[in-house]
C-alpha cells in the first residue's frame, strides 16, 4: 500500500500534537499476513494505531462504511457516542457535530485506504477485499469491541470479524494469526501481545468461540 498524501499529513499532525507512542512486541513479528485487534481506548486507539504502529504502511484498517458517505455520517455520529448524552451541551453537539463530521470525516477516512465494513448484504465486499489484502501480503487492523456508552466499550466483541480466518484458510491456504493489542494511553505504549492462531483442525463453531473468548480476555480498555 502506498500511503496517500493526506494520510501522511494527518499522521504528521497527530505526531505534532500527541506524545510519541512506543510499540512493544511480546513476541517478534514473523512477517506473515495477520490481523491486529486493538482496544478502542475511546477514540484514541484508532488514532494511535494509524499514527504510530510499526506496520502502518502494510496494514489495512476496517472502518464503519457509513463514515465515507456524507449523507450517512450524521446518523452514524449520533449513534456512536461521540458525546455524553447527559451533557448540558448535548443539544448543541447534536445539531453541529454530526454535520461538521459529514464534511470532514469522509475524505479523512478514505485517505487511509482501508476496508469499509457494512451491516447489510454489502458485507460480502468487506470479506472479499479483506482476503485480497491478505493475499497481497498485507495485514488487517480490526477494532472488535462493541461500544456501550460515551468513551466506553464492552468486553464482549463483535463476533463477525473472526469469519476472516476460515475464509483465508480455504481461499489462500494460510493459518491466520490474531494479535491482541493493548493501547496504553496513560503510559504511551502500544503493547502487541502474542498471537492467537486459528486452528483449522477444530470444528469451526468451537474454534470461532475459542478465538472470541481468548481475544475478549486480552483486548480491553
The mean per-residue pLDDT over the stretch 99-113 comes to 95
- Residue 152: per-residue pLDDT: 46
Band (119; pLDDT cuts 50, 70, 90): confident
Q: Report the pLDDT value the prediction gives residue 188, as an integer from 0 to 100.
A: 96
Q: What average pLDDT does the structure give for the chain?
A: 91
Beta bridge partners of 37: 180
What total number of domains does the chain contain? 1
pLDDT over threshold 50, residue 93: yes
Decide if 79 is inside a domain: no
Whether residue 52 is contained in a domain is answered as yes
Residue among 54, 46, 50 nearest 23 (CA): 54
Query: Residue 85: what pLDDT?
Result: 80
> Could you tell me where the DSSP H helices lie in 39-143?
44-52, 73-79, 90-111, 123-135
d(CA 211, CA 193): 14
For residue 35, give its domain range. 5-69+113-218
42, 45, 150, 152, 196 from 86: Cα distances, Å:
17, 24, 10, 14, 39
Q: What is the pLDDT of residue 84?
A: 80
* In-domain check, residue 50: yes
Q: What is the pLDDT at residue 132?
A: 96
User: Nine-digit cell at 213?
Assistant: 473468548
Please name every residue paired with 64 in a beta bridge, in sequence order, or none if there are none: 117
Decide if 87 is inside a domain.
no
Residue 95 lies in a domain: no
Q: What is the pTM of this model?
A: 0.92
Q: Is residue 98 part of a domain?
A: no
Is the distance from CB of 73 to CB of 67 less than 8 angstroms? yes
Q: Are the C-beta atoms of residues 23 and 54 closer than 8 Å to each other? A: yes
- For residue 209, being part of any structural domain is answered with yes
* pLDDT classification of 151: cutoffs 50, 70, 90: low
Q: Which residue has the cell 489484502?
A: 133
Long-range contacts of 170-173 (CB under 8 A, 24+ apart): 171/131, 171/135, 172/131, 172/134, 172/135
Residue 192: strand pairing partners: 25, 181
Amino acid at each position: 500500500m502506498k500511503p496517500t498524501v493526506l494520510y501522511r499529513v494527518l499522521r504528521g499532525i497527530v505526531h505534532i500534537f500527541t506524545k510519541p507512542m512506543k510499540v512493544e512486541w511480546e513476541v517478534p513479528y514473523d512477517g506473515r499476513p495477520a490481523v491486529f485487534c486493538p482496544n478502542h481506548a475511546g477514540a484514541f486507539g484508532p488514532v494511535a494505531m494509524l499514527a504510530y504502529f510499526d506496520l502502518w504502511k502494510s496494514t489495512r484498517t476496517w472502518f464503519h462504511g457509513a463514515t465515507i458517505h456524507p449523507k450517512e455520517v450524521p446518523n452514524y455520529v449520533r449513534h456512536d457516542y461521540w458525546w455524553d448524552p447527559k451533557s448540558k451541551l448535548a443539544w448543541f453537539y447534536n445539531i453541529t457535530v454530526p454535520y461538521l463530521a459529514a464534511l470532514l470525516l469522509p475524505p479523512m477516512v478514505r485517505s487511509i485506504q482501508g476496508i469499509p465494513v457494512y451491516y447489510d448484504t454489502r458485507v460480502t465486499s468487506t470479506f472479499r477485499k479483506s482476503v485480497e489484502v491478505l493475499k497481497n501480503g498485507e495485514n488487517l487492523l480490526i477494532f472488535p469491541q462493541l461500544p456501550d456508552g460515551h468513551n466506553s466499550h464492552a468486553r464482549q466483541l463483535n463476533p463477525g470479524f473472526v469469519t476472516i480466518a476460515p475464509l483465508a484458510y480455504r481461499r489462500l491456504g494460510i493459518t491466520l494469526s490474531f494479535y491482541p493489542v493493548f493501547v496504553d494511553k496513560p503510559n504511551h505504549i502500544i503493547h502487541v501481545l502474542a498471537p492467537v492462531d486459528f486452528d483449522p483442525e477444530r470444528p469451526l463453531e468451537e474454534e470461532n468461540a475459542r478465538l472470541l473468548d481468548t481475544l475478549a480476555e486480552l483486548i480491553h480498555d
